[in-house]
């Protein structure tokens, strides 16, 4: 996780919950270079409609990076080359109907090679390509915004 100097981990209050109540998800920072400009692909969450990166739970038989690539296809309809090394980690609360679940997302960069016009969650989410500054401002997770601002494509 090079170039993460100065990034502060957001504190997650687990309250009375055991440390095992913290969940891990795998996420994809989907990007492309178009007309010599770096763009990021964001999607809306299903419940609140806020802008996020594709992410999901660990999957049986898939490595963390492969799970992130699968989420990128299912949620954003993009495919490409996923980096084997994470570009960062961010924490957040997954809001559910009954409670909030503390989560940590391990983020992998995915250089997008193909953008599909149809994908599994197209009817449930919006997809948007935006500049670095706009992407960092649109996501509600401050740590994720910092990772986007500092990200350097390979």
Domain boundaries, the chain: 21-150
Q: 15-63, pLDDT tens digit by residue?
A: 555 455 789 999 999 999 999 999 999 999 988 899 999 999 999 999 9
CA-nearest of 108, 150, 114, 106 to 132 is: 150
Per-residue confidence (pLDDT) for residue 7, from 0 to 100: 46
Record the tokens describing residue 147, joined without a space.
Answer: 């990772």
Round the average pLDDT of the chain to a whole number and report it: 88
Element spanning 19, H or E? none
Per-residue confidence (pLDDT) for residue 34, from 0 to 100: 94
Share of the chain above pLDDT 90, in %: 73
Right CATH number for 21-150 from 3.90.1570.10, 3.30.9.10, 3.40.50.720, 3.90.79.10?
3.90.79.10
Residues near 11 by beta carbon (within 8 Å), at least 6 away in sequence: none
Burial of 26 (0-12, 13-18, 19+ CB in 10 A): buried
Per-residue confidence (pLDDT) for residue 143, from 0 to 100: 95
Between CA 91 and CA 113 the distance in angstroms is 28
């Amino acid at each position: 996780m090079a170039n993460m100097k100065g990034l502060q981990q957001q504190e997650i209050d687990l309250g009375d919950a055991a440390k095992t109540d913290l969940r891990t998800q795998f996420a994809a920072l989907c990007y492309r270079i178009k007309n010599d400009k770096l763009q990021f692909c964001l999607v809306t969450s299903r419940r609140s409609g806020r802008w996020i990166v594709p992410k999901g739970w660990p999957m049986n038989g898939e490595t963390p990076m492969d799970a992130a690539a699968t989420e990128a296809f299912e949620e954003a309809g993009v495919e490409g080359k996923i980096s084997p090394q994470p570009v960062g980690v961010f924490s957040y609360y997954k809001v559910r109907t009954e409670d909030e679940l503390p989560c940590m997302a391990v983020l992998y960069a995915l250089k997008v090679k193909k953008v599909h016009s149809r994908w599994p969650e197209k009817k449930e989410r919006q997809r948007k390509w935006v500049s670095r500054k706009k992407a960092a401002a649109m996501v509600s997770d401050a740590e994720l915004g910092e990772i986007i601002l500092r990200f350097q494509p390979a």
